[in-house]
Amino acid sequence: MSRLIDALRVHAQQRPEAPALESGASRLSYRELDSAIEAVSEELRQRQCRRVALLADNGLAWAVAELATLKLELPCVPLPPFFSIGQMAHALRSAGADTLLVDAALPLPPPLGELPSSPLASGPAAIAGALRVLQLPLGPSTVALHRGTRKITYTSGTTGEPKGVCLGIEEQERVAAALLQASGADSESRHLCVLPLSTLLENIGGLYAPLLAGATACLPPLAEVGLSGASQLDVRKLLAAIITSRATSVILVPQMLLALVSAIEAGLPRPASLRFIAVGGASVSPRLLQRASALGLPVFEGYGLSECSSVVALNQAGAQRPDSVGKPLPHVRIRIAGDGEILVSGNGFRGYVGEPPHDGEQAVATGDIGHLDEDGFLHVTGRKKNVFVTSFGRNVSPEWVERELCLHPAIAQAAVFGEAAPFNVAVIVARGPGVQAAIDAVNRDLPDYARVREWIAASAPFSPANDQGTANGRLRRPQIRAAYAAAIEQRYRESTVSPFSEQEARA
């Protein structure tokens, strides 16, 4: 049985009228939430659902439907709304989903839109009819899942075809309990979800953790917090949502934190209610964290991966170190391999869909490189596979250079390349004029081998829409490199920069 479902039942008995979920003017108390989960669970049982995919905007209906699958111990497949049609079809097919719960207001393309559907009728008025039920022709009998799978989260990864990570409920709830403790949440806390609930980090940290504490999870539609697609953000709406919801905590990706910090520096109000801002999903510049701290924003950087049910390390009040992602959570063990790769044990996944099971005793190889300092804080320095070696034999972690570039207002995104080359080239998504001045400023603080000597203006932002970025801000480097290959090679052919600087020649 789920620890979370048990906690909800206790909250419903002891604090029945306390607010559990809010979305705009709609609200569910803990008593109403318990009843809604029971009603939706019963409907799914009567419909004989066995594997349930969920495609909907943030809101009460998403939360109740997902918690109902948890109560029934059914595998749930949350689908990110920014997935392409091809990615969604792959996820449904590979997971063997027999049921799709979809936002009633969302138009579906063929062939999904041609399947018969009926409204999910159960539950209070705030959720009844908000979701449609589609019975899918491909059922679970055709696809075997790993033992104990209760959620299949599809990572956006670095390829166009997402990979299904099978998770049990125990490992998810360990993370939720650890986040609850680390954030200091209590029954009076209010968490505002600004990332899609289909994102594992928000699902566990923004829904499970607050509900374990008996707190309130605020779940407005993503448009109301200023998020559209996977990468478009209206920071004024985000600030307004934080202020009006009286949020005590939020989870942000680095680009959202940068937008928030820049807006407050420009004169917009700082939310006074916030006590805990978790940031992760991609590399965060120490200078951005310094700017946030100067504004009095309680920002705590963390680190995790889907294969370990999201967060594995987190800074927190009383245990925070700049330029680190914090200490490992109590239930995990971290060691560093001989080549610098971070290995995580103690909360591993069940296996990937369609691949052999993962041995729970075996460490998860993260693909990230880093180190543990003398006090046990974890430092992540880059992706193992992203480190390139210049023609001078210098190792460069591109994330290091990119995060410094993106601190400048003129640069929204940057992808740095230089494998086996005499100098580095960056593909830049410009936010305004002044890109060259920003690059010059960054170069002054970088060692010679890491500097950007040539740059190319990107034709569009790196996003899931063009398969060049992921939802949490990571770059899909092979796709970016392929898209700009001709321009990059031209820079090397035409450059008048000597491949040997005086400093490099001496080295």
User: What pLDDT was estimated at residue 445?
Assistant: 85
Identify whether the C-beta of residue 134 lies closer than 8 Å to the C-beta of residue 117: yes
pLDDT digits (tens, 9 = 90+) for 85-128: 888 888 999 999 999 999 998 888 788 888 888 999 888 888 88
User: What pLDDT was estimated at residue 121?
Assistant: 87
User: What pLDDT was estimated at residue 453?
Assistant: 94
User: What pLDDT was estimated at residue 230?
Assistant: 55
Rounded CA gap, 216 and 65, in Å?
17
User: What pLDDT was estimated at residue 279?
Assistant: 95
3-class secondary-structure state, position 210: helix
User: What pLDDT was estimated at residue 500?
Assistant: 37
Domain ranges of the chain: 3-379, 388-506
Strands 26-29 and 19-23, bridge-based pairing: antiparallel
Quick check: do 3-379 and 388-506 share a fold?
no
User: What pLDDT was estimated at residue 158?
Assistant: 40
* End-to-end Cα distance, the chain: 62
| 3-379 to CATH, choices 3.40.50.12780, 3.40.190.10, 3.40.30.10, 3.90.1170.40 | 3.40.50.12780
User: In terms of CATH, what superfamily is 388-506?
Assistant: ANL, C-terminal domain (3.30.300.30)
pLDDT digits (tens, 9 = 90+) for 283-339: 788 888 999 999 999 999 999 999 999 999 999 999 999 889 999 999 999 999 999
| Crossing angle (nearest 10°) for helices 435-444 and 398-405 | 130
User: What pLDDT was estimated at residue 478?
Assistant: 93
| Positions of the chain with pLDDT lower than 50, given as ranges | 157-159, 497-507
